[in-house]
Amino acid sequence: MSSRPEVTLAERKRRLVADELARAALQLLAQKGFDAVTVDEIVAAAGVSKRTFFRYFASKEDVVIQFLADMGTTMRAELAARPAAESPSTALRHTVWVSIDACAGHTRQALPVVQLILGTPALLARFLERQAQWRDDLAAELATRLNLDPRADLYPHLAAGMALTAFGTVLQRWSASNGTEDPKALTDRAFTVIAPALDAVG
């Protein structure tokens, strides 16, 4: 019992340092471009040592990917929380929209980072790797939700893949428009296209 407040305090401090590093890095990277920024510049801007940087992040790439790292967990939790009677397309549309809105709701801060990720081959590759894990997590949640066997049924992975393709397409369009296109309307349009396939379960 007595150790719990200390763990909470330590974790809070760790999160604050990681967030400060991420803020400094993302600001520099968005201003100067990924290749032009060094770890030395990031730690100088954050006011920490290089050793501290590498305690939290393995590389510059990890700093940027951390910006979107929690999206997969958020999406799976959102899908798990949707009403059981909801159609797969509706549940997945809400699931994807929560993460898109997390970016679009903070356009000034998020848009340059999304553009950096989508426009830098090394970061885009890491982002796509991350999405592959999200697909597996969403597929597992869909299988549980629909009482399907993910090892035997094709539907969970296909449906999760379609939902994440919609997610990526919306981010691409929103990013390419410099934030002028309405991400909610884009999400609705994307899911109108894929809803018939998502709801063809069985």
| Per-residue model confidence as pLDDT tens digits over 10-64 | 788 888 888 888 888 888 888 888 888 999 999 998 888 999 999 988 888 888 7
Q: Read off the amino acid at residue 172.
A: Q
pTM of the model: 0.80
pLDDT score of 126: 84
CATH topology of domain 3-58: Arc Repressor Mutant, subunit A (1.10.10)
CATH for the stretch 67-198: 1.10.357.10
Domain ranges of the chain: 3-58, 67-198
